[in-house]
Structure 1
């Protein structure tokens, strides 16, 4: 069996497709005089394909090999990152940049499809939580460390094109761990139509079980999605944070925090029921949003509290991924896992946009307060659904 840490490297470009829009483009948008809601729109666009990727996930299960899909999708992502770094941010270029983000985000979904099948085929079933932790560590470090690194490269390279080229080269280097993995067998052996029916049969069987239905309902609730995380760069100036400080805190510091959160969350998920692990991580995230709401507007508070918040996001993602992978045993892994993570992203998609609107209306306190109330209500629904289904 391959070491699960390989999947952290392989999944890094997927996280980067959120991190670069959230950190680099978010910072550039507000410095170009655009409202926070514009930054939220960019982030929402990066999220949108992940919310609906289960609709085209069967393509990943039924067509090319997992490794071929990964290489092709990663090449598209590298080209998109180069474009993000080189196109100047302004109101006039915002539609073009947003379209570029959408193209890259769709390509990144095929990275996810490829890796979900490869992970289940190359990792021991008893270590699903640990594997999910490493897998999502790569994702979250892309969103944090990668996003901060992209901002640093754009600001400090001789030209934005040089920074974009370095970023693209780093993304392409993530192909290398594929050499150590075994290719899983295709779904079914008949015609494309027969294999598509087999995918549908696998999905229907999973959802006919109580655990499958309950997990899907819980995944849809807007908890554990870390909405504030994706707008921290846009509001960092309220904590008197400079651009380089933002790069450090939302890059290196957040990357370390997210790694600890995802690895710890994966370890915890192997030892307690997945739903309980997920609920506890979500509750911790809501508490951190509340503390941020009333925190001193000083750089040290921004650094400490955003790092803690980011760690809880990692734990939430590891828990829901472990739950999804445990239910995706058998065939059609991409379709099954994408369904759970897709409906979970739907909640995040709406709340990121809502957080941007709340900020425009009521400022940062309104943005954080909206998240606190939403998490509290969602946890109540979580408890009610769990009790009714289990009794």
Structure 2
């Protein structure tokens, strides 16, 4: 589909046409970041445990990989003012492939921890660039009415990519070696990025003076913090509900359930990626019908209940599979809701900036919770990790619900009082 950007005029020529892609294709582009995240949290997580790394050290690596996602607020404006989002995304995919390649040759032992830290951080930077560029492209090329659906497909691709990068990566690492695993995943990153070649995303400010573009970005930022809905959006994505931090650390404690390397790889990787797809699509569907912030709060409670059930359930390989897949299904719904909360309010003129701002905020609780669970794992083990995140999730959902009730529009308050 080819559309023309709204609100852009030029006295010299017609503004450049914009070409979108079908929502399902975003599942492939989103998989690029998921592959790198899955490689770090699942493949490295499981392999490093067998090489004298502690769960706390692995949690720090996972948090380090996520950390650049909190910096997106600093890089957001460049998506609106420099290269096109398509170009930024393709550059980030190439960077992800190049960042995975060194793991084919470096020794995964404590002596190389500094190099491993650096490469994990670099993969996080490329993930942040790709995610921000993709958000900017969505803001320019898509209508608001389909963004809940797009959020579902992107979440499906992201979590499905985690399954590929983690499950396939771990299987290859344990059966064919880390060299084969890293190079295969690097090639898959490039393949999954290819649908972005179909998108036409000219620079949002290409037909306007630079000063006017910057002023528009400022107005959109002020508008976000000047409305009740804007603050509820910020609060919803800044609270630790539906984050799934424990799911990212699950491979490092899989042996508590007697899960083998193959069972861990298939369950937390490929099977988890597959079960996340329907969960993500359900979440996207719900967000097209109900306020995404409300969907996020309810899904946060559901995720908490899933972790409580796993904490008090039996410690057998079969239980590991059932609970892991159930929690990944719920996580797909929650992550789709987070994405929808961010996408729904974006404007083409500031999609990169505002999307990156909100994207940074939503990843702050993920990093903090991951580090907290790593610290909790030392004295309290896997149960302590699950119950800690469950308490945070329920408490956050209740806090958001209370604030949404107190800040509801006055006409609704009057109707409630009259009733």
**TM-score for the superposition, normalised by structure 1:** 0.95
Aligned residue among 294, 306, 317 for 2:312? 294
Q: Deviations over 1:357-377 (max 9, x none)?
A: 101111111111211221122
Q: CA shift at 1:185, angstroms?
A: 4.2
Deviates more, 1:367-376 or 1:279-288: 367-376
Would you say 1:354 and 2:372 are equivalent positions? yes
Aligned residue among 99, 102, 105 for 2:124? 105
C-alpha distance in 2, partners of 1:373/1:178? 40
- Residue matched to 1:41: 60
Q: CA shift at 1:188, angstroms?
A: 5.7
1:40-59 → structure 2 map (5 Å cutoff): 40-59=59-78
- Residue matched to 2:230: 212
Aligned residue among 363, 381, 387 for 2:405? 387
C-alpha distance in 2, partners of 1:193/1:96? 42
Q: Is the 8 A contact 1:85 1:154 kept in 2?
A: no
Q: CA RMSD in A?
A: 1.6
3-state SS of 1:331 partner: coil
- Residue matched to 2:91: 72
- Residue matched to 2:214: 196
C-alpha distance in 2, partners of 1:85/1:123? 39
Q: CA shift at 1:193, angstroms?
A: 5.2
- Residue matched to 1:371: 389
Q: Is the 8 A contact 1:286 1:375 kept in 2?
A: yes
C-alpha distance in 1, partners of 2:270/2:54? 26
Would you say 1:326 and 2:350 are equivalent positions? no
C-alpha distance in 1, partners of 2:303/2:180? 37
C-alpha distance in 1, partners of 2:74/2:133? 15
C-alpha distance in 1, partners of 2:81/2:89? 14
C-alpha distance in 2, partners of 1:327/1:171? 29
Q: Deviations over 1:331-378 (max 9, x none)?
A: 211221222222121011111111011011111111112112211221
Corresponding residue pairs, total: 390
Q: Is the 8 A contact 2:83 2:203 kept in 1?
A: no
Q: CA shift at 1:327, angstroms?
A: 0.9
Q: Is the 8 A contact 2:30 2:131 kept in 1?
A: yes
Q: Is the 8 A contact 1:85 1:163 kept in 2?
A: yes
Q: Which runs of 5+ in 2 are unaligned?
A: 2-20, 414-419
C-alpha distance in 2, partners of 1:341/1:179? 23
Q: Which runs of 5+ in 1 are unaligned?
A: none
